[in-house]
Amino acid sequence: MVCSVETVSEPEIPKPVPVAIESSTSALLIVDMQNDFCDPKGKLFVPASVSTVQPLKNLLSKARKAGVRVFYTQDWHGPNDPEFAIWGEHALAGTWGAEILDQLKPEPEDVVVKKLRYDGFYGTSLDHLLRLYGVKNIVITGTVANICVLHTAGSAALRWYNVYLPVDCVSALTDFDMKIALRQISFLYRGILTTSDIIDFRP
């Protein structure tokens, strides 16, 4: 028996566009930019993450100068976490691998939210804190695009936050995975695709 393989057309993904969002109601969210994912010695290294560090640093500087709230998610697992059966041990609490990259180190006024699963909102205080600060717009960055970034963006959209995704500040293991994430975030969750250099935070 011969099985035929159907060719699937690649869906159109919107081009990045300039955006201008209000500083006081916006937050920059940096997802899982940790040693285990973003350093070559890490346990689940994402090679493409290296090229996102400088754009992210630039965006981080721009956001802080504009008074935008900065949030980080930090994957944080205890010994024998069930997720290790899927991915192997990674981001073990208190280890070098779980620490956020030195190049993107949080400042004292930033908020770091430790998370146990892919979604930055699941079982965390992230939504509560965003609402306390009056946040309506979330600029989501980080790794991995089709896993933690996608699930966090989806949860943000389902809570009616406006989602913005600077594509040069997001990384995936493969181009296919990146395209899946961009397609879902833009099509299903109505996230706006942009880049770090064409985001403007206005008073």
Single-letter residue type at 202: R
* C-alpha distances in Å from residue 10, one per residue of 80, 129, 178: 39, 38, 13
pLDDT at 7: 82
Give me the phi and psi of 155, to 5 degrees please.
-65, -35
Strand bridging mode 170-171 / 69-75: unpaired
Helix (H, G, I), strand (E, B) or coil at 105: coil
Spell out the per-residue pLDDT of the chain, length 203, in tens: 666 778 878 889 999 999 999 999 999 999 999 999 999 999 999 999 999 999 999 999 999 999 999 999 999 999 999 999 999 999 999 999 999 999 999 999 999 999 999 999 999 999 999 999 999 999 999 999 999 999 999 999 999 999 999 999 999 999 999 999 999 999 999 999 999 999 999 99
Pick the CATH number of 19-202 from 3.30.1490.20, 3.65.10.10, 3.20.20.70, 3.40.50.850: 3.40.50.850
- 36-58 b/e with 16+ CB inside 10 Å = b? bbbbeebbbbbebbeebbebbee
43's CB contacts (< 8 A; 6+ apart) are: 36, 88, 89, 90, 97
Q: Domain locations in the chain?
A: 19-202
pLDDT at 8: 78
Q: What is the value of pTM for the model shown?
A: 0.95
Strand partners, 27: 69, 138
pLDDT at 136: 98
Give me the phi and psi of 41, to 5 degrees please.
-85, 0
